[in-house]
A and B are shown apart, each in its own frame.
Chain A
């Protein structure tokens, strides 16, 4: 699987916020086998630097995908992206432009505008977007080579609220890497996204806020693998009626002479 020309073998991207401790975060990332981790710049800095925490993340040897979490305007997001490029030395940026404080729904107009500014400036943008096809097209026009549609609102753990829209997205963008970002709560949600043919899932809270984040990270890794295998294996179609899985022809007949009781 390639994202902006980078070959990745893991289809699980993991966020790094809200873990009980950096030690648990490190263990969770290791067992998840994630190769891409997201890092929020805004909440981790407040004027100073998060140098010590970032060093911990760098030590993991994962590819870092900085994000613009919590940015509510194009200008804010662009400035944060530029800071992130300087600090982490990567052109990758997960672009979030939040449109609504309560639902944390993306402002898709600001998102397209910021994506254009950033790709023109040499960034490789991973836009956090809705499952709207037209917005997806505008983001591709703006230079994005990856789309990250939501499954459900950030941190809600509701799973995939609109699988049909994601299926339509898959059909509409057959060659664009699609990453379900936000809303994954349980391993079954991650597996469902992968079964729909998504290329990867990005999650954070589901692991960080689990009672045992390390065990949940392992579960998510297994679910992503299972979902991907399931998609590739071409699952059977659903049917309304039962179909016996054992053959009904050629069964031995047991008449009365064998002790069977027939009327």
Chain B
């Protein structure tokens, strides 16, 4: 029997990979309901390894490229790619983004308008990453939990891990050496008047902003990256930047209702890459940073292999 502490994205992904290998698994989650205390509820849910490469190591591409197929077995995945655009005054940012990334087509304003009619006439060029996809993070975590339970795992809510644990996936609570929080802020909008069907990234020198459609006229916009341990409410400045970005994409967002704002703390190591560590008689999977949905599958596979190979130092 393998005991996992933490029933968030990392813990459940590992449980799934262990179950697929025939292990028996118990997951301990301290929250009273699934998905409520996991930082993944503030995620964009982008499966966008090529775009992320702009500011991340090559590993994010190599580990993340299979994530789309992995999630497709578990939860609905929207495979419509990512469209990257920039306001004309920030055209240099688009050039820079293109130089740092791969697997895109340069598209004209006409193609931007064909892909997303809501953006017609607003951007004279863009980059289209057609292999990328997105999912709904809140639904994905619940679907993953259901799958894990279907495969026979027990998920105990309201349960702090007091006894021995094989794998710790408790994020910031694990307090690993060198682990630091990076605050991220986001907002949910409802705007049936604007119809956008794929992830849009709006390049901006101060922060990379993205908008992910959730269906039914609902959009998630994010996200700030601030070196802070505060998970207090969104600040006015951050909200203004995000809402300003939505408005720059389409003035139709002026009519949007702001359904929700939120902030979470992403656990990150100094290289912003996840780590599978062995210490204190257990394994730790941590530091998924802003790449939770993208890198959890590959890291969970690695964790399951290590745990079941019996290879412990």
A and B: interacting chains: yes
Q: A43 touches which one: B180, B226, B230 (CB < 8 A)? A: B226
Where the two chains meet, the residues of A that have a C-beta atom closer than 8 Å to any C-beta of B are 20-24, 26, 43-53, 56, 155, 209, 211
Assess whether B180 is in contact with A49, with CB atoms less than 8 Å apart.
no
Of the candidates A26, A46, A53, which one forms a contact with B235 in the assembled complex, judged by CB atoms under 8 Å apart?
A: A46
A52, B271: Cβ atoms closer than 8 Å: no
Query: A50 and B228: CB pair below 8 A?
Result: yes
Q: Are B272 and A20 in contact (CB under 8 A)?
A: yes
Q: B42 to nearest A CB, angstroms?
A: 15
Q: Given A20-B56, A53-B227 in contact, is the A46-B270 Cβ separation under 8 Å?
A: no
Fill in one digit per residue for B9-22: 1 if any A CB lies within 8 Å of its CB, else 0: 00000000000000
Residues of A within 8 A of B205 (CB): 155
Cross-chain contact B270 with A45 (CB below 8 angstroms): no
12 further interface pairs, Cβ-Cβ under 8 Å (given A45-B227, A47-B230, A209-B96): A20-B57, A21-B57, A21-B271, A21-B272, A22-B180, A47-B235, A48-B230, A49-B230, A50-B226, A51-B229, A53-B227, A56-B270
Q: Considering the chains assembled together, what is the distance between the CA atoms of A21 and B229 in angstroms?
A: 17
Contacting pair B232 A47 (CB below 8 A): yes
> For chain B, which range describes its interface: under 10, 10 to 19, 20 to 34, or 35 or more residues?
20 to 34
List of B residues within 8 angstroms of A45 by Cβ? 226-228, 230
Q: Which of B57, B179, B270 contacts A26 (CB 8 A)?
A: B270
Within the complex, the shortest CB–CB distance from B24 to chain A, in Å, comes to 37
Q: How far is the CA of A25 from the CA of B55 in the complex (A)?
A: 13
Partner of A22, one of B57, B229, B270: B270
Does B183 touch A at the CB level, under 8 Å?
yes
Residues of B within 8 A of A56 (CB): 180, 270
CA distance A71 to B254 in the complex (A): 28
Q: Are B100 and A49 in contact (CB under 8 A)?
A: no
Distance in angstroms from B118 CB to nearest chain A CB is: 27
CB distance from A191 to the nearest CB of B (A): 23
Q: Is B44 engaged at the interface, CB distance under 8 Å to the other chain?
A: no
CA distance in complex: A251, B277 (Å) = 75
Given contacts A20-B55, A23-B270, A26-B270, contact A46 B183 (CB under 8 A): yes
| B interface SS class | loop
> Which chain A residues lie closer than 8 Å to B181 at the CB level?
52
On whether the beta carbons of B228 and A23 are closer than 8 Å, the reply is no
Minimum CB distance partner of A52 in chain B: B180
Q: Which single residue of chain A is at the shortest CB-CB distance from B183?
A: A46
B228 touches A47 (CB 8 A): yes
Can you sample 18 A-B contacts with CB below 8 Å? A20-B57, A20-B272, A21-B57, A21-B272, A43-B226, A44-B227, A44-B228, A46-B183, A46-B228, A46-B232, A47-B230, A48-B228, A48-B231, A49-B229, A50-B227, A52-B227, A56-B270, A211-B100
Assess the A53–B180 pair: CB atoms within 8 A.
Answer: yes
CB-CB nearest in chain A for B232: A47
Q: B244 CB to closest chain A CB, in angstroms? A: 12
B window 38-58: CB within 8 A of A: 55-57
Closest chain B CB from A232 CB (angstroms): 35
Q: How far, in angstroms, from A224 to B229 measured CA to CA in the complex?
A: 36
Once the chains are docked, how many angstroms separate the CA of A66 from the CA of B290?
A: 27
Contacts of A23 in B (CB 8 A): 269-272
For chain B, residues 260 to 286, give those with C-beta under 8 angstroms from any C-beta of chain A: 269-273
CA distance A24 to B56 in the complex (A): 10
Which residues does chain A contribute within 8 Å of B96, judged by CB atoms? 209
| CB-defined contacts of B232 to chain A, threshold 8 Å | 46-48
Evaluate contact between A21 and B228: CB separation under 8 angstroms: no
| Chain B residues within an 8 Å CB radius of A155 | 205
Q: What B residues does A26 contact at CB under 8 A?
A: 270
Nearest B residue to A43 via CB reads B226
Contacts of A44 in B (CB 8 A): 226-228
By the criterion CB–CB under 8 Å, are B183 and A48 in contact?
Answer: yes
Contact partner of B226 among A22, A46, A211, CB < 8 A? A46
